[in-house]
Structure 1
């Protein structure tokens, strides 16, 4: 038990050490736990990806890949989220495997996304594989990165106890991310969206949350 506890403590130390070295690219904390030997590869991957502004590109024209393998449901109202989305978009130009879906868009349809409504997806990162399987949290990030040739970033999270620790760290971030990033509470956001829907759509049945 003592050995196991020491291993867990050491793993936790690694997580917090690397957390300081990464920018928060996502609206959901991205716990990239990478061994020292991977640092050079990581730098090259990011340099070859995105250095653009973090301004959300909500109005960007983007065609859905014909042979996509996974959907990324993201919050287009969050600049931190858009950092990672923009990086993955650039990588995806080569692979065409990710279908990006902005849940903050008025056109977002839960029916087209395994019944996942706005409130649910705001709770944590969700991704939908082409076979309909839904993955969340760290696993979602791992699957998304694998589809654009960056699977090595999350390889270590497949092993225990690192995997469980990464999940725990992510869960804490997902719970408090709105507060940490200075945004209103989820309840306030939902109320504002509801009001906006009423003002925009009136009695139209086509407008959905």
Structure 2
């Protein structure tokens, strides 16, 4: 049976993202690949647009399916001994609260780090 690797695409220029990835790297059971989106080159893998990768956490499963946002976070942590602690984020009721909070945080992070109204107007 061949190994099943998921790949998490993360923003290596984000201090919070980098901190989480360091923890994932340390706790990973060996079947999660961590890929900084700023270091990706054109290759055989077709990635979502760069802006989409910056706006939301993306994970490509070993079957080629893309999961994003909170689902990507929970799936990434499932590759560690502590993954069970993240599963409740996807439970009905909790997800309806956690997902909008994640989306709001992700949008604010992107706008503060990458969006520049003055630059776009020029």
Return the TM-score normalized by structure 1: 0.51
Aligned structure 1 segments of 4 or more residues deviating by more than 6 angstroms: 186-190
Which of 109, 115, 119 is the aligned partner of 1:185?
Answer: 115
Q: What CA deviation, in whole Å up to 9, does each residue of 1:108-165 have, x standing for no partner?
A: 33751x4312111111000000100100111111111111122222121232111111
C-alpha distance in 2 between matches for 1:186 and 1:73: 23
Aligned with 1:100: secondary structure? strand
Q: What CA deviation, in whole Å up to 9, does each residue of 1:43-75 have, x standing for no partner?
A: xxxxxxxxxxxxxxxxxxxxxxx9352101011
C-alpha distance in 2 between matches for 1:186 and 1:110: 29
Query: Any stretches of 5+ residues in structure 2 without a counterpart?
Result: none
- Aligned partner of 2:106 in structure 1 is 174
In the alignment, is the contact (CA less than 8 A) between 1:126 and 1:136 conserved in 2?
yes
In the alignment, is the contact (CA less than 8 A) between 2:9 and 2:35 conserved in 1?
yes
C-alpha distance in 2 between matches for 1:169 and 1:88: 22
| Structure number having the greater strand percentage | 2
| 1:161 and 2:97 matched | no
C-alpha distance in 1 between matches for 2:3 and 2:101: 33
Return the TM-score normalized by structure 2: 0.83
C-alpha distance in 2 between matches for 1:163 and 1:102: 27
Between structure 1 and structure 2, the one with the greater Rg is 1
